């Protein structure tokens, strides 16, 4: 099965996936465990196809596949592929299918492109990011990190701040959190970067409480999770008009509860200052590390037909 959207995941599927992630994470710490993981998908092949820059997603997916015993063919800058000559995405995927790959991981700058690719592919496609649409595996590792820290994914107060209009991680995370009961989401942004109406409508349908504000101090003190994002200037026509920018720094740490966690999908620019990194509440590097184990478990589950 393809992994294109968080909407295809139920609580039951997530429970099983997270148990596997925890198991893989534990096994990865020993040589015996790594040897076991290496045999799980030994000899299979993954094509890594990225039309946009990536560090964490691409590297963790490729390492995840290799740690499962798979071979990996990388197209790091797919804009240098035959698509620049006018070849359609559909034809590109058809060719990839002919080369006996078992799995394709793809990131594309155009929203909806992953769905187009999946329509013509006979092998599973996992999204590594779909324009302004979704980033399902980022959201999966995000909620796994929250689950690992709190032992639950319900009755949480989650503050999501920054560029909510262009951030695909925001859309995917909010949709996943809406599966669970009792969650409240606080959206913090300048008026130009407000979260999309489609996200808010989904939360209403699922009965998930939310509010919007441009006053970050008003919500930080009640938050279990603070999820911050960078301003995505590459998706804006006039980035110089973005208005106010929100920064988590030492002054904000005085407001944030001691048992809360601060998350970020990375890369950060300056929206979380580096002097926050050593605070026990800073979870964004643990979050990024979890991406490896989550993607190992996801690849294994997809190839075993469990998802």
pLDDT given for residue 131 in this prediction? 86
Q: Is 74 left (phi over 0), alpha (psi -120 to 50) or beta?
A: beta
Beta bridge partners, 187, equal 160, 212
SS3 80: helix
Q: Virtual CA dihedral for 233, 238, 243, 249, nearest 10 degrees?
A: 10
Residue-wise pLDDT tens digits, 21-75: 999 999 999 999 999 999 999 999 999 999 888 889 999 999 999 999 999 999 8
pLDDT tens digits, one per residue of 210-269: 999 999 999 999 999 999 998 865 554 555 555 557 899 999 999 999 999 999 999 998
CB 41 within 8 A of CB 69: yes
Please, what's the b/e burial string for 83-97 (b: 16 or more CB within 10 A of its CB; e: otherwise)?
eeeeeebeebbeebe
Helices (H), the chain: 11-27, 31-38, 56-67, 89-98, 113-120, 136-150, 168-177, 197-206, 217-220, 250-253, 284-303
Q: What is the pTM of this model?
A: 0.92
pLDDT at 244: 52
The phi-psi region of residue 243 (left if phi > 0; otherwise alpha if psi is between -120 and 50; otherwise beta) is: left
Considering only the C-alpha atoms of the chain, give the largest distance between any 2 of them, rounded to a whole number of Å.
57
Other C-beta atoms within 10 Å of 21: how many? 24
Q: pLDDT at residue 195 above 60?
A: yes
Instruction: Give me the residues paired with residue 106 across strands.
Output: 49, 127
| Catalytically active residues, by annotation | 56-57, 85, 107, 135
User: Mean pLDDT over residues 106-129, rounded?
Assistant: 95
Alpha-carbon Rg for the chain, nearest whole angstrom, is 19
| pLDDT attached to residue 86 | 73
- Mean pLDDT over 187-200 rounds to 92
pLDDT digits over 3-12, tens only?
A: 999 999 999 9
The position carrying tokens 């920054």 is 162
> Domains of the chain (ranges plus CATH)?
6-133+290-303 (3.40.50.1370), 136-287 (3.40.50.1370)
Quick: pLDDT tens for 140-187: 999 999 999 999 999 999 999 999 988 889 999 999 999 999 999 999
Q: State the pLDDT at residue 231.
A: 84
**The pLDDT of residue 79:** 58
What is the per-residue pLDDT for 236? 46
- Whether 177 and 154 have beta carbons less than 8 Å apart is answered as no
């Amino acid at each position: 099965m393809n992994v294109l959207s968080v909407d295809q995941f139920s609580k039951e599927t997530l429970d099983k996936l997270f148990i596997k992630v925890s198991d893989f994470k534990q096994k990865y710490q020993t040589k015996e465990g790594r040897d076991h993981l290496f045999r799980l998908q030994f000899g299979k092949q993954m094509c890594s196809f990225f039309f946009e820059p990536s560090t964490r997603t691409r590297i963790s997916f490729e390492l995840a596949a290799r740690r499962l015993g798979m071979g990996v063919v990388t197209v790091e800058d797919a804009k240098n592929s035959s698509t620049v000559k006018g070849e359609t995405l559909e034809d590109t995927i058809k060719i990839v299918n002919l080369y006996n790959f078992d799995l394709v991981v793809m990131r594309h700058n155009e929203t909806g492109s992953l769905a187009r690719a999946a329509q013509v592919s006979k092998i599973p496609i996992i999204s590594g990011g779909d324009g302004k649409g979704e980033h399902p595996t980022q959201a999966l590792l995000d909620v796994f990190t929250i689950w690992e820290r709190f032992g639950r994914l319900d009755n949480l107060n989650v503050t999501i701040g920054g560029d909510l209009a262009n951030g695909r991680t925001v859309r995917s995370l909010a949709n996943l959190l809406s599966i669970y009961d009792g969650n409240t989401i606080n959206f913090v942004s300048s008026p130009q970067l407000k979260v999309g109406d489609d996200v808010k409508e989904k939360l209403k349908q699922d009965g998930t409480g939310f509010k919007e504000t441009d006053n970050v101090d008003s919500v930080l003190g009640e938050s279990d999770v603070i999820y911050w994002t960078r301003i995505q200037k590459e998706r804006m026509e006039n980035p110089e008009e973005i208005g106010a920018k929100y920064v988590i720094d030492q002054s904000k740490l005085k407001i944030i509860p001691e048992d809360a966690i601060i998350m970020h999908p990375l890369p950060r620019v300056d929206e979380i200052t580096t002097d926050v990194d050593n605070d026990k509440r800073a979870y964004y590097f643990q979050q990024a590390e979890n991406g490896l184990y989550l993607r190992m478990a996801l690849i294994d589950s997809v190839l075993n037909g469990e998802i």
